[in-house]
């Protein structure tokens, strides 16, 4: 007996604690103060100059590095004052950095800066720092800062190296173009939705062609394409998105783009909460859960909610576990959108069977053991075993079968399959919470599986995989990360 519930707003967890608040200072045309003449002071002076700040360096004995950076200042002018700093030097200063060997000097510098209301950093002395520099990936005006709160600078540098490799140098040119074109887009006459669509098209093109120079022709073309979409841009839409079986890293790039452009996200119970970390923070999240045993929203209520939101001009993402086209009722939702004239598209996802097989390291169609793979539902509308299952196909020894959500019906399912010729010694794997950290597996034969499941506590969506392709896992359950799996 199912228990009905109404769609409700999903409130994700609040922001976790931050060791540092990432901020980006605008220093172009402002004054910065650097105290000290060491190589560390020279590097900070160069960094501040790169932002466009005029940098006053106070050093009784300026190092060669200081003199070199003065001669080749990357942005704002660097002026060396051959004396110690004083309290009056903090007038009209936007930011201050000191490099000192002695604790007393560092403490006095920080105290003076704070008294003057100037944010201060003392190199390698975190007790006297209001902010930290961290590692920087420079594709200015695209700038990425990385901080480990001083705990592991080498780790931060390693992360920076990884990001450097991932972010093409050409993104700098596209970011500069975005900066130039922003005011023109604002004045283009496009609606709010149209302007957002322009930047979506811009982003797709930048990602696809990062290493060429964006041109005025690109701008005209993107504006033209946005206008050609006409009123469709201002209308609402529905996108059915496959969230995959659980691991958020299995999301497709297209799924991430859909989540980041959504106004409202209708979320299934089976979706991993971590997937929502990829969503636009401003998007409203609503739980429209459908579970086999717990309270469920009626499909008609979900359909009505989708249409109501889309008709109000919202970009609606219907976020479903696994692939929406495999036992996800996508066909019904696509049909109601089409009948109502609402634009609808489907973004496929990694299915539970694919995710589980990947974690097992098993090919579902290994040419030595299987010539086809089939997905079968373990329950009908009434919660019982479907009456129209093709049992001879289940019993075919050259087939791999994935049975979705057979928690209540597996014993009956197995009885029919064995009666139609399936060998009870056929290898099988039961998987719950596939691809998640708390994934559970039972490796057994299909003949023993119902008894094994009855004796175990497996929570979450259940999948049972049956076929000769799993024979090696039955013989060697500890292969490929199966140390925690239980075998017969």
Closest by Cα among 253, 239, 280 to 350: 253
Which tokens hold the place of 118?
Answer: 């100037």
Which tokens hold the place of 369?
Answer: 């053991």
Cα maximum dimension of the chain: 95
Please check whether residue 70 is in contact with residue 80, taking contact to mean a CB–CB distance below 8 angstroms. Answer: yes
Chain CA centroid to CA 164, Å: 19
Q: What's the distance, Cα to Cα, between the start and end of the chain in Å? A: 33
How many Å apart are CA 345 and CA 488, to the nearest integer? Answer: 44
Residues 6+ apart with CB under 8 A from 181: 219
Which tokens hold the place of 50?
Answer: 């790169």
Residues 6+ apart with CB under 8 A from 368: none
Residues 6+ apart with CB under 8 A from 42: 63, 65, 66, 68, 69
C-alpha triplet 485, 269, 437: angle, nearest 5°: 30
3-state helix vs strand vs coil in the chain, percent to 5: 35, 20, 45
- R_g of the chain, CA atoms, integer Å: 30
- Residues belonging to the active site: 268, 290
Which tokens hold the place of 348?
Answer: 């496929």
How many Å apart are CA 456 and CA 104, to the nearest integer? Answer: 64
Q: Which residues pair with 265 in a beta bridge?
A: 285, 317
How many Å apart are CA 115 and CA 354, to the nearest integer? Answer: 61
> Edge-to-edge, what's the strand order for the sheet holding 462-466?
372-377, 399-404, 462-466, 427-432, 440-445, 486-487
Which tokens hold the place of 139?
Answer: 């594709």
For 6, the enclosing helix (H) or strand (E) is: none
Place of tokens 């560092």: 106
Please check whether residue 359 is in contact with residue 439, taking contact to mean a CB–CB distance below 8 angstroms. Answer: yes
């Amino acid at each position: 007996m199912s228990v009905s519930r109404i769609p409700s707003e999903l409130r994700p967890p609040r922001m976790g604690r931050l060791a540092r608040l990432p901020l980006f200072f605008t220093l172009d045309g402002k004054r910065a103060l650097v105290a000290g003449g060491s190589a560390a002071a020279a590097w900070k002076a160069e960094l501040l100059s790169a932002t466009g700040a005029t940098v006053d360096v106070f050093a009784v004995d300026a190092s060669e590095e200081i003199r070199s950076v003065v001669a080749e200042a990357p942005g704002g002018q660097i002026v060396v004052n051959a004396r110690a700093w004083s309290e009056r030097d903090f007038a009209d200063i936007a930011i201050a950095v000191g490099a000192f060997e002695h604790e007393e000097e560092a403490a006095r510098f920080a105290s003076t800066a704070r008294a003057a209301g100037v944010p201060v950093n003392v190199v390698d002395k975190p007790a006297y720092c209001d902010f930290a520099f961290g590692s920087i990936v420079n594709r200015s005006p695209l700038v990425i800062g990385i901080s480990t709160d001083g705990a592991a600078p080498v780790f931060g540098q390693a992360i920076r190296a990884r990001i450097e490799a991932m972010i093409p140098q050409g993104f700098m040119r596209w970011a500069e173009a975005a900066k130039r074109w922003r005011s023109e887009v604002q004045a283009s006459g496009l609606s709010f939705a149209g302007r957002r669509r322009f930047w979506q098209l811009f982003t797709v093109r930048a990602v696809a062609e990062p290493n060429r120079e964006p041109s005025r022709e690109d701008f005209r073309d993107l504006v033209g394409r946005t206008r050609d979409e006409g009123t469709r841009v201002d209308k609402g839409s529905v996108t059915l998105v496959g969230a995959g079986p659980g691991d958020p890293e299995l999301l497709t790039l297209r799924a991430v783009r859909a989540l980041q452009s959504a106004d409202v996200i209708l979320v299934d119970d089976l979706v991993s909460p971590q997937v929502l970390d990829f969503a636009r923070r401003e998007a409203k999240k609503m739980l429209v859960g459908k579970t086999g045993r717990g309270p469920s929203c009626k499909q008609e209520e979900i359909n009505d909610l989708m249409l109501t939101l889309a008709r109000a001009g919202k970009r609606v993402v219907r976020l479903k576990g696994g692939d929406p086209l495999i036992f996800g009722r996508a066909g019904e939702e696509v049909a109601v959108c089409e009948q109502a004239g609402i634009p609808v598209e489907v973004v496929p996802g990694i299915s539970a069977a694919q995710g589980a097989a990947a974690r097992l390291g098993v090919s579902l169609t290994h040419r030595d053991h299987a010539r086809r793979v089939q997905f079968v539902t373990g329950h009908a509308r009434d919660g019982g075993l479907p009456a129209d299952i093709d049992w001879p196909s289940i019993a075919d020894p050259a087939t791999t079968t994935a049975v979705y959500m057979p928690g209540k019906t597996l014993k009956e399912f197995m009885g029919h399959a064995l009666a139609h010729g399936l060998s009870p010694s056929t290898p099988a794997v039961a998987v719950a919470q596939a691809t998640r950290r708390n994934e559970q597996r039972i490796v057994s034969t299909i003949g023993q599986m119902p008894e094994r499941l009855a004796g175990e506590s497996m929570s979450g969506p259940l999948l049972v995989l049956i076929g000769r392709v799993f024979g090696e896992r039955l013989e060697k359950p500890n292969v490929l990360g199966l140390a925690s799996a239980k075998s017969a």
